[in-house]
Structure 1
């Protein structure tokens, strides 16, 4: 017996140095299927095994593919490819005694991801909008207006909408983006996005988009201004509380301003909403109201600054042409007025490719819309994708961008680029790139964590979200912002609450903590969920 103890210790030690990172949810049968192995020991002459869960039957055995690079303290990196396996079932990967989380190959995997992501929005609802996991809140938005240095003691009704993230502020830029993306998802594929899980006769995604449309209609003032932000920096200074217990509930000023950037995304959301409510619901009164608001806002563009700079410094764009082009093309599709189409073409061409995706970088949407009329605009999308592809081939986990604030939203945006490009060109040459970004979010990452709550075996649980923390729940549909450079996190001097179980996987470039105090890497946002819903919906097979 004594002779066996050192052997067992050695075996377990060796196994502990090998980590298999794979999409914990799984793959569609026709997907490219891959995993990354990071190790402190050389296993170059070893094989991987793909086993059926339950009986352990070996389905595939093949050599590890050595990658000539390192990751952090791990000096040996390998890739596994098992794309040839298309049989549906539940599996795990095994390398020298180490095994991955279980995952599936199936056609219907991604329905539940979309359903989970959608559950986030009722938690974010503000005002009299039937919120979930908290009571009606912020009933007096807003009691005064702030225009630069000028305070206007005037009540304006901007109740409703969604809280932006883990805090309780509201922003026209992100509510417009989110509303647009929910509507766009439905328009892109009504079959996949017509699910009605609450069985009230309205597609869930349109029911939620209506929350956004109603707030946007309130946010356009009679003059040339919008309410661009509700609540100031104090929201983040009074401590964690439920929204109905907010001591600032009756002291939430509305900042007003305008800019071509806001006019663009605002008009786009309302113009698209007008078409859907006219065709899907046969509700011409609301459709006309949305379209009138969109045209009224768009008419102000010639007198507006390029970008809005009002508020307290959050969600400020640096460019406007892509968003204004989107507003123009959506107005064209709603009115068939040729002047909108002409302006959309000019603006979209000037905006060009931007090699990025975020709430503020959405040129690809106008390029996609225009490519349906002139395929030349697809060249901008291809330029972006080529840039992402080149970056993806230069790092261990095949990310199309380097980590920053909001990494996961950008990765989902890369997948979105492919989906749009495939629709207009019928080319799938970037499909593997899209799958790799999706897989990173779901576990094929240094920490082996799924960044979406309740999806996968090991997922982000301690999100920076007041309601989830105070209610002691796992946040429904929570989607962590994802890794950021350690230097960025150090700049904000985050006071972490818990020890770091992922310490051995952290690097200067890739740093992630599942800690409720981390509002950079671990905070969910309405914008990231909107992007992810579109992407995960594409991979669903709802009929």
Structure 2
């Protein structure tokens, strides 16, 4: 979720019932991936430095020791204020359930070693999108206890004054149903949908055999398309409706004027609007539709003509952006929902050009990308240039002679080298730097992992450090972090329980909707006015598991997407 200048929350007493409270992370706890590891994976835990110099791994059922090893040397981690040692039990490859034991400390949370150990996690992370679908009821046979009524049909949406055109003046009624609610709120944003939908489509393009075998129990399951494509289509159909057929421009978002309260999605009835066309929206749309066009090409029988329509829509949006290269989103005075405004658009132009080049084979798009000027960075909604390099590297064999294949490979591997070096030097063995602890830090880490995994793949699996650093990133969000939480709802012995997510708060069910990655530690604490009980100001501990904390505990579609990608990749590559 994009940080917003204003958030609509319930009155403090009603929201909290009492002051936000949360104990400091147990400094004596062993920090470990609470789900588990593939047998061939590197397996690390973090142990607080003390008198013990060794550890054992025990069978979780019998307590019988199965491995004894020495702990690593003590190292301080300034972002958490801890001094820690690494426990490396990679040598243990026998399937089973285990705990790690260190003299003087409580045993670790249990963890599994087994093949396809992240299957349930991957299905859960993908199914979270289903739970956040707009414009449809979630039925018990697919949603279980999280079944709910349909919310926001979005079949009668007004064109806001900021989005008015000659063909669609202010107040014009359009229909734009489907799509995913963006985060903890009930609005829908093209810019954030861009990277979110792309990452799901990339996961399918990169690991098709894995997703062909997956059954997520969606309403569409068994229709001849993989579930990950079915889920992406729910959002793609909405995105197509956000393009003005008159000129090819794309509305920035579909939204209420203000945030809804903490209610179920069928309860709000505020007027909904499409707001301003923007260059960023048009370019993100063009990139995603170019990808979707090639993904949908083999599924002509299931969705006749859709691939061609998506390609045409992508090129129309590109044309609009060329004619409007600096149409920056400016939040209208009467709209206070998330803005996702981006004034630096070179990366969006490059990403859209790269995807159109791959899909169409037109060299003019590769030239428009200006590859010599485009650095590779860890992807985020506001910095999508890295997605261009990921796609180009994946499709390297099919590119025309115009492409500089050596440059493409170098961009990915150079960035991966930097991330691997940070990981290898980190006392917690994560690629995160101090400056990476921002709003959505968990997604920063998983997007770093996505880069590392792609570098590992294009290097033909010859750089194990890339794979190990990516494994460590998943370990972190599943419990090997300074807070000791699993940051994925419904997974691990100590998962986040109170995400800033309206359905999870309003449905009357004690457990939150499962499969959501929460934002994670954020020393910015932008919600401190409403959440006064953060346990620490230290970057790695600045996390609050309470619904009040939209700055550290919200969920978002762009944060979950790399969780889907990384969990599938680590299952597939190990």
TM-score interval, smaller chain: 0.7 to 0.9
Cα displacement (A) at 1:357: 2.8
Aligned-pair CA distance for 1:24: 0.7
Classify the secondary structure of the residue corresponding to 1:246: coil
Q: CA deviation at 1:67?
A: 2.2
Distance 1:508 1:478, change over 3 A: closer
Q: Cα distance, 1:418 vs. partner?
A: 1.2
Separation of aligned partners in 2, 1:388 and 1:367: 16
Q: Which position in structure 1 is the counterpart of 2:407?
A: 376
Match of 1:33 in 2: 43
Report how many residues are paired.
510
> Conserved in 2, the CA contact under 8 Å of 1:415 and 1:434?
yes
Q: Deviations over 1:94-145 (max 9, x none)?
A: 1114210011111111111110011211221112475853322223451232
Matches within 5 A, 1:119-130: 119-128=127-136
Question: Distance between the aligned counterparts of 1:494 and 1:390, measured in 2?
Answer: 38
CA distance in 1: counterparts of 2:256 and 2:428, whole angstroms: 38
Secondary structure of residue in 1 paired with 2:266: helix
Matches of 2:40 and 2:163 in 1, distance apart?
55
Match of 1:244 in 2: 266
Note if contact 1:403-1:510 (Cα within 8 Å) is conserved in structure 2. Answer: no
Equivalent position of 1:533 in the other structure: 564
Quote the residue 1:329 is aligned against.
354
Distance, in Å, in 1 between the alignment partners of 2:79 and 2:291 is 46
Correspondence for 1:116: 124
Indicate the residue corresponding to 1:273 in structure 2.
Answer: 292
The counterpart of 1:164, out of the listed 164, 176, 182, is 182
Aligned to 2:493: 457
Cα offset, 1:492, TM superposition: 3.1
Q: Which residue of 1 aligns with 2:314?
A: 294
Structure 2 residue aligned with 1:343? 368
Could you tell me how far apart the structure 2 residues matched to 1:73 and 1:358 are? 24
In the superposition, the TM-score normalised over structure 1's length comes to 0.87
Partner SS state of residue 239, structure 2: helix
Please give the alpha-carbon distance, in whole angstroms, between the structure 1 residues aligned to 2:114 and 2:540.
34
The equivalent residue for 1:493 is 528
Whether contact under 8 Å (1:65, 1:79) holds in the other structure is yes
Task: State the partner residue of 2:253.
Answer: 229
Partner of 1:4: none
SS in 2 for 1:99: coil
Whether 1:192 aligns to 2:217 is: no
The Cα of 1:200 is off from its aligned counterpart by 2.6
Structure 1 spans left out of the alignment, 5+ residues: 1-15
- Check conservation: 2:182, 2:192, Cα contact below 8 A: yes
Q: TM-score, normalised by structure 2?
A: 0.83
Which residue of the other structure, out of 419, 426, 447, is the alignment partner of 1:413?
447
Matches within 5 A, 1:189-228: 189-194=207-212, 195-198=214-217, 199-201=221-223, 202-221=225-244, 222-228=246-252
Per-residue CA deviations over 1:438-458 (Å, capped at 9, x if unaligned) read 110010011211111111111
Query: Structure 1 residues 319, 75: closer, same or farther in 2, change over 3 A?
Result: closer
Partner of 1:253: 273
The Cα shift of 1:218 comes to 0.6
C-alpha change, 1:35 and 1:233, in structure 2 (3 Å) is: farther
Tell me if structure 2 keeps the 8 A contact 1:192–1:542. no
Does 1:399 pair with 2:430? yes
Aligned-pair CA distance for 1:292:
1.1
Aligned counterparts of 1:160 and 1:129: Cα–Cα separation in 2: 11
- Equivalent position SS for 2:191: helix
Counterpart Cα distance in 1 of 2:444 and 2:327: 22
Q: CA deviation at 1:68?
A: 3.0
Tell me the CA shift for residue 79 of structure 1. 1.2
Q: Confirm or deny: 8 A CA contact 1:262 1:307 kept in the other structure.
A: no
Mark the CA change 1:301 to 1:61 in structure 2 (over 3 Å): closer, same or farther.
same
Secondary structure of 2:500's aligned partner: coil
**1:6 corresponding residue in structure 2:** none
Take 1:269 and 1:73, find their aligned partners in 2: how far apart are those partners?
38
**SS class of match (1:316):** coil
SS of 1:437's partner is helix
Offset at residue 159 of structure 1 (A): 2.3
Q: 1:233 to 1:100 in 2, by over 3 A?
A: farther
2:161 to 136, 142, 146: 146
**Native 8 Å contact 2:350 2:388 kept in 1:** yes
Retained in 1: the 8 A contact 2:80–2:539? no
Q: 1:128 to 1:49 in 2, by over 3 A?
A: closer
State the distance in 2 between where 1:258 and 1:216 align. 14
Distance 1:33 1:20 in 2: 14
* Counterpart position of 1:353: 376
> How many Å apart are 1:289 and its aligned residue?
1.3
The list of structure 1 runs, each at least 4 consecutive aligned residues, that deviate by more than 6 angstroms after superposition, is: 148-151
Which residue of the partner structure matches residue 46 of structure 1?
A: 53
More displaced stretch, 172-181 vs 66-75: 66-75
Q: In structure 1, the residue corresponding to 2:29 is in which secondary structure?
A: strand
Partner residue in 1 for 2:62:
55
Contact 2:263 2:506 (C-alpha < 8 Å) held by counterparts:
yes
How far is the alpha carbon of 1:70 from its aligned partner? Answer: 5.1
> What are the ranges of 5 or more consecutive residues in structure 2 without an aligned counterpart?
1-25, 400-404
**What displacement does 1:149 show?**
10
Distance 1:496 1:129 in 2: 33
In structure 2, C-alpha distance between the alignment counterparts of 1:47 and 1:336, rounded to whole Å: 57
Matches of 1:138 and 1:227 in 2, distance apart? 18
Aligned partners of 1:304 and 1:161: how far apart in 2?
26
Of the three residues 389, 395, 403, the one matched with 2:420 is 389
Q: Secondary structure at the match of 1:96?
A: coil
1:38 deviates by 1.8
Cα offset, 1:304, TM superposition: 1.7
How far off its partner does 1:239 sit? 2.4
